[in-house]
Amino acid sequence: MSEPRWIDVTAPGVSLRALSWGEPGNPVALCLHGFPDTAYGWRRVAPRLVAAGWHVVAPFMRGYAPSSIPDDGSYHIGALMHDALRVYETVGSTGRDVVIGHDWGAMAATGLAALPDSPFTKAVIMSVPPAAALRSVGAADGVVMAGLLPAQLLRSWYIGYFQLPWLPERSSSWILPRLWRRWSPGYAAEEDLRHVDAAIGTPEGWRAALGPYRALRSVRVPDRYAELHRHWLELPRLPSLYLHGRTDGCMTPAFTRWVDQALPAGSAVAVVEHAGHFLQLERPDEVADRVLHFFT
């Protein structure tokens, strides 16, 4: 497959750039990346989707170069949803489009799939389950979930760390390789880390990458994003495929049991064997097979 093209989008307060594989006019697969990754994280799945007739569009998250740092300093999930919709509007709707999200992109995709008037037909959510699915468990399941939480809190140590003042700003050189090793054991991430360094390797870029973690503690969401933002805490309305890697060192795959119970009709859940957190890079063919089967 040829090298991706570039799409430039000007949204209020931020300039966004996206990679584009495939033919414009085909149904759009809007692919949203997370941390610490970039739009190039979709490079191994994109050829399979393009061969099946999809136009793959993968924006760089706000603050991740070559997208700009937002003027309003907002990294709330509603802001990520807002950016995704601006990119999608620039590409143009076909009425048959889908959204695919991983990590922070998974949370944004959950919100887009929960919109009452979502422009998408289906969603794929990867590695971070919808928060509402984990909040709606019954009493018996609650006991099981409580048993999983101590180990998960240890896995999630970095969230509290990233919310500290000034210290995380001095940590990028050692923490990024460590997270890739821990989250996707055995995966050779050298190429991905080069892309990550290009995107958030400056002090300003690293602070932007910490922004979504710090926004989790922010009560007030800018008015521009507030309506969108509330939907990421809801269950998807669209038929959704949830995928999680078996060896994910970021979040346990055990949570998938409750996702399966919570998604709407026409949805599916799968744990991908021999894959960690970045399953679209580790097992691209299996991920593409599952995604395309779900879409068709």
- Average pLDDT per run of 10 along the chain, which is 296 residues long? 90 96 98 98 98 98 98 97 98 98 98 98 98 77 85 96 95 96 97 98 98 93 96 97 98 94 96 98 98 96
Distance CA(259)–CA(244), nearest Å, equals 11
User: Collapsing DSSP states into helix, strand and coil, what is residue 192?
Assistant: helix
The DSSP symbol for 165 reads S
Pairing mode, strands 122-126 and 268-272? unpaired
Provide the domain limits for residue 227.
5-295
Q: Give 3-state DSSP helix, strand, coil % of the chain, rounded to 5.
A: 45, 15, 35
Angle at alpha carbon of residue 83, lines to 171 and 162, rounded to 5°? 20
What pLDDT score does 143 carry?
Answer: 78
Calculate the alpha carbon distances from 66 to 18, 69, 274, 294 in Å. Answer: 9, 9, 32, 32
CA 154 vs CA 141, 158, 159: distances in Å: 21, 9, 10
* Phi/psi of residue 66, nearest 5 degrees: -90, 5
Tell whether the torsion through CA atoms of 73, 82, 250 and 60 is positive or negative. negative
What was the pLDDT predicted at 2? 72
| pLDDT at residue 138, rounded to an integer | 65
What is the pLDDT, as a whole number, of residue 135?
81
HEC string for 208-256: HHHHHHHHCCCCCCCHHHHHHHHHHHCCCCCCEEEEEECCCCCCCHHHH
What CATH number corresponds to the domain at position 114?
3.40.50.1820
Q: How many folded domains does the chain comprise?
A: 1
Residue 66 · residue 17 · CB < 8 Å: yes
